[in-house]
Amino acid sequence: MGCGLNARSDPPKVIIDSDYNTLGDDTGFGADDGKAKGYTRSPPPGLQKMTVAKRFDNAAFFGFCVDLLTRPVPVRPSNR
């Protein structure tokens, strides 16, 4: 998520719509280098299936990030 989740955080459901397909990327040198390509059927061998997020609940995501970034931080005294 990019918000620094920890074990005590309970992230909201931010993915509204997702799809399950196979993704690959172009590793050849040129204009399409690194470009991702989705395969819904007949993917090349060696690729793995993954969940692709299509829509997010932006308000829930940003609210969760703000909550994490504004929580109090526990401070331990130094042992000097």
* The pLDDT value given to residue 25: 77
The token pair that represents 8 in the structure block: 């005590």
* The pLDDT value given to residue 52: 82
33 lies in a domain?
yes
Q: Is the pLDDT of residue 7 over 50?
A: no
Q: 37-77 pLDDT, tens per residue?
A: 778 788 888 888 888 888 989 998 899 889 989 999 888 87
10 lies in a domain?
no
Range 1-19 average pLDDT: 64
Range 20-49 average pLDDT: 81
pTM attached to this predicted model: 0.48
Its domain, for residue 43, covers 15-69
Cα(62)–Cα(67) distance, rounded to whole angstroms?
8
Cα(19)–Cα(58) distance, rounded to whole angstroms?
18
> Where is 1: in which H helix or E strand?
none
Alpha helices in the chain (DSSP H): 58-69
1 lies in a domain?
no
Q: Say which residue, 63 or 32, is predicted with more confidence.
A: 63
Q: How many domains would you assign to the chain? A: 1
21 lies in a domain?
yes
> Where is 39: in which H helix or E strand?
strand 36-39
